[in-house]
C-alpha cells in the first residue's frame, strides 16, 4: 500500500462523506448559492470526518468547475492541488502544537495578502480548543472582521473548552459518530479497493472496535491488512482477534460464568491466563460490557442468548456486573497494575452472604464466642471459664466495618477482601477472623496486608495483637438468580408444591427477601 488506508480512501467530495448528510446538504447549498460565512466550527468525536469536510469545502469554494449540486469537480488544477497537498491557499494548523499567541499573530499578518491560486484562502485550525487564552483573544479580533477572501474552519473534539465569544462568531456543525451500518460500508469500500474479503464475524469485530469512528475503522483494517501474506486471502475472525490482541467471546462468557457460579479460584486463573496471552485488559472489559449490554437487552425482551452465564443471572445481577465493570474500566486507565484491578471483580461477586445474614449470625454467637468457654470438669458437670483480657471483643465485632473502611484509602484491593471478613474470637493475644474463600485468606496473609491491618487495629482499638485468618468452607454464594436455584434451597417437603407454581414466581421479589 502506498499510504495508510484512512488517507488513501479519504472522502473527496461531499457525497462520499458517509454519515454526515445533515451537514453536507447545507454546505453544498451554501457553495451552490454562494452563501458562505467567514467562520465555520466543526464539532465531533475523532475520526468522524471534520478535517475531510473542511478540505472538501476548501475544494468546492475554489473549484474551477464546480458541479451543479455544489460538489467540487475533482479534476481541475485546484482540486488536484488540494488532493496532493500542494494548494498554497489552503493552510492547515494543528493547534495542539501551535497554540500560542505568536502563531496567531503570524497568521493575522498573512491573512491580509490576497489568495495566490484560488478565490479564497482557507485556514483549517484543528483541535482549536488547545489554543491558549491569549491566542483565543488574538483570534477573536480576526474573526470579528476578517478579510473577504478568508474563510476559517475550526475543528474540535472538545467544544466545551471554547470561549463563548469564539462560539458566537462561528457557524456550528455537529458531526455524529457512524452507525454500525455506516462503519461497515466504509470498511467494505476500502477492503474492495484492496482486493480483500472479510468474513462476517471478522467484520463485526472491526465494526464494534471502531466505536463509531470512520478513521479508527480504517486504522484497524490497516493493521489487519498488514498482517496478510496474500492478496486473495480471506480475513477470518481468528486472524482479526490475533492481530488486534482482542479477547474472544468464550473467555468473557467463562469469566462471567465463574462469577455467577461463585468460583473465585477459577475466575482468578482465567484473569491470569488473559494476562499471559497478552490480551489488553481495557479491550477485554470493553468487550465484556458489550456482551452484558446484549444480555440486559435480551432479559428485558425476554429472549434467549447462547451464553453460559445468561441463564445464571437476573436483570439485577447484570446491572451489578455492568456497574462493577464500568468502575474497572475507569480504574484501568490510570493503573500501573491492571491485573490487580481486574482481580477486584472477584471479591465483589464471590462473597458468602449478605451483611444482614452475617449480623444475625453474629448476634446468635455473641455469648458463646465472646465471654465463655464451656469445659467439663472431673465430676462431669459443665463449668464456665471467663476469658480475662483487657480487649473488648464485643467492641471489635461491633465496629469491624471501620477496619475495612480505614484500609480502603491505603490499600484499595485489600479493602475488597477484608470487607467480606468477620472477627470470630480474640484469644491469648491473637485476633481470629474468618473469610469465605482460600483466595481471600492468601491476600490477607501476605506481610504487607498484615502490617496494614495491624496498624489500623492499633489506631481504631488501641491494640497490638497477632492475626489468624481462617476459611469458612460453608460460604454461601451471593449471586442467586434463577428460579431453579431458589427452589433448590427450599425444604424438601415444600419443593413439590412450589415447583407447580414455578412459572408464577416473582424472582425479583424473592431476591429482595434474601
Neighbours of 132 (CB within 10 A): 14
The residue ranges of the chain whose pLDDT is under 50 are 1, 353-358, 360-361, 364-365, 367-389, 480-514
423, 343: one domain: no
Domain boundary among 174, 209, 227: 174
Q: Clarify whether residues 151 and 192 are in a common domain.
A: no
Task: Tell me if 223 is assigned to some domain.
Answer: yes
Q: What is the pLDDT of residue 511?
A: 38
The three cell numbers of residue 419 are 470487607
Final residue in a domain of this structure, among 244, 264, 297: 244
Domain that holds residue 258: 249-349
Q: Report how many domains make up the chain.
A: 5
CATH code for position 170: 3.40.50.300
- Residue 477 falls within a domain, yes or no? no
Same domain? 211 vs 314: no
Tens-digit pLDDT profile for residues 150-171: 999 999 999 999 999 999 999 9
192 plus 305 within the same structural domain: no
Q: Is 267 exposed, middle or buried (0-12, 13-18, 19+ CB in 10 A)?
A: buried
Please check whether residue 478 lies inside any domain of the structure.
Answer: no
CATH code of 331's domain: 1.20.272
Q: Are 18 and 141 found together in one domain?
A: yes
Per residue in 216-238, is it b (16+ CB within 10 Å) or e — as a string?
Answer: bbbebbbebbeeeeeeeeebebe
391 with 489, same domain? no
3-state secondary structure (DSSP) of residue 466:
strand
**Domain annotation covers residue 130:** yes
Closest CA to 93 of 54, 127, 55, 45: 127
Same domain, 20 and 149: yes
Please indicate, yes or no, whether residues 234 and 294 belong to a single structural domain of this protein: no
What's the CATH number where 429 sits?
3.30.300.180
In a domain, 157, yes or no: yes
* DSSP β-bridge partners for residue 340: none
| Pair 50, 187 in one domain | no
**Any domain includes 87:** yes
Query: Tell me, what CATH number does 215's domain have?
Result: 1.10.8.60
* Secondary structure, 3-state, 93-152: EECCCCCCHHHHHHHHHHCCCCCCCCCCEEEEEECHHHCCHHHHHHHHHHHHCCCCCEEE
d(CA 414, CA 443): 7
Q: Which of 59, 11, 2 is nearest to 215 (CA)?
A: 11
Q: Is residue 381 part of a domain?
A: no
Whether residue 446 is found in the same domain as residue 344 = no
Distance of alpha carbon 51 from alpha carbon 291, whole angstroms = 33
Same domain, 361 and 331: no
Q: Are residues 326 and 435 both part of a single domain?
A: no
Q: What is the pTM of this model?
A: 0.62
Domain boundary, last residue among 149, 174, 199? 174
Cβ proximity of 288 and 322 under 8 Å: no
Amino acid at each position: 500500500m502506498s499510504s495508510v488506508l484512512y488517507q488513501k480512501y479519504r472522502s473527496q467530495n461531499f457525497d462520499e462523506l458517509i454519515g454526515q448528510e445533515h451537514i453536507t446538504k447545507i454546505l453544498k447549498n451554501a457553495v451552490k448559492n454562494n452563501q458562505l460565512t467567514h467562520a465555520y466550527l466543526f464539532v465531533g468525536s475523532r475520526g468522524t470526518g471534520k478535517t475531510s469536510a473542511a478540505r472538501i469545502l476548501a475544494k468546492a469554494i475554489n473549484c474551477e468547475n464546480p458541479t451543479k449540486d455544489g460538489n467540487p469537480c475533482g479534476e481541475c488544477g485546484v482540486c488536484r492541488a488540494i488532493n496532493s497537498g500542494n494548494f498554497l491557499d489552503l493552510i492547515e494548523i494543528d493547534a495542539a502544537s501551535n497554540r500560542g499567541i505568536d502563531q496567531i499573530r503570524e497568521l493575522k499578518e498573512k491573512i491580509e495578502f490576497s489568495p495566490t491560486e484560488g478565490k479564497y484562502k482557507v485556514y483549517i485550525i484543528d483541535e482549536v480548543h488547545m489554543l491558549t487564552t491569549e491566542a483565543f483573544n488574538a483570534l477573536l479580533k480576526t474573526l470579528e472582521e476578517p478579510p473577504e477572501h478568508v474563510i476559517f474552519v475550526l475543528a474540535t473534539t472538545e467544544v466545551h473548552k471554547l470561549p463563548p465569544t469564539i462560539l458566537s462568531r462561528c457557524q456550528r456543525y455537529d458531526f455524529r459518530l457512524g452507525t454500525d451500518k455506516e462503519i461497515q460500508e466504509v470498511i467494505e469500500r476500502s477492503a474492495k479497493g484492496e482486493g480483500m474479503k472479510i468474513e462476517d464475524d471478522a467484520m463485526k469485530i472491526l465494526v464494534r472496535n471502531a466505536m463509531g469512528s470512520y478513521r479508527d475503522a480504517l486504522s484497524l483494517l490497516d493493521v489487519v491488512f498488514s498482517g496478510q501474506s496474500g492478496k486473495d486471502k480471506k480475513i477470518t475472525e481468528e486472524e482479526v482477534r490475533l492481530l488486534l490482541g482482542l479477547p474472544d467471546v468464550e473467555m468473557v462468557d467463562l469469566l462471567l460464568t465463574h462469577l455467577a457460579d461463585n468460583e473465585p479460584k477459577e475466575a482468578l486463573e482465567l484473569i491470569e491466563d488473559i494476562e499471559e496471552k497478552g490480551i489488553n485488559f481495557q479491550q477485554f472489559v470493553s468487550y465484556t460490557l458489550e456482551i452484558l449490554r446484549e444480555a440486559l437487552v435480551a432479559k428485558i425482551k425476554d429472549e434467549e442468548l447462547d451464553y453460559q452465564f445468561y441463564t445464571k443471572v437476573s436483570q439485577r445481577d447484570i446491572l451489578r456486573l455492568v456497574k462493577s465493570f464500568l468502575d474497572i474500566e475507569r480504574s484501568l486507565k490510570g493503573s500501573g497494575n491492571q491485573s490487580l484491578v481486574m482481580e477486584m471483580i472477584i471479591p465483589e461477586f464471590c462473597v458468602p452472604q449478605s451483611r444482614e445474614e452475617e449480623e444475625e449470625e453474629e448476634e446468635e454467637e455473641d455469648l458463646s464466642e465472646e465471654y465463655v468457654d464451656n469445659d467439663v470438669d472431673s465430676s462431669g458437670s459443665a463449668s464456665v471459664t471467663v476469658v480475662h483480657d483487657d480487649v473488648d471483643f464485643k467492641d471489635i465485632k461491633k465496629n469491624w466495618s471501620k477496619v475495612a473502611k480505614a484500609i480502603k484509602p491505603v490499600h484499595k484491593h485489600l479493602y475488597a477482601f477484608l470487607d467480606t471478613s468477620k472477627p470470630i474470637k480474640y484469644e491469648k493475644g491473637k485476633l481470629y477472623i474468618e473469610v469465605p474463600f482460600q483466595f481471600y485468606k492468601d491476600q490477607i496473609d501476605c506481610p504487607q496486608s498484615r502490617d496494614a491491618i495491624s496498624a489500623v487495629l492499633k489506631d481504631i482499638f488501641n491494640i497490638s495483637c497477632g492475626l489468624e485468618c481462617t476459611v469458612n468452607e460453608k460460604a454461601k454464594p451471593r449471586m442467586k438468580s434463577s428460579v431453579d436455584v431458589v427452589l433448590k434451597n427450599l425444604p424438601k417437603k415444600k419443593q413439590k408444591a412450589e415447583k407447580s407454581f414455578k412459572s408464577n414466581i416473582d424472582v425479583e421479589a424473592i431476591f429482595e427477601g434474601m
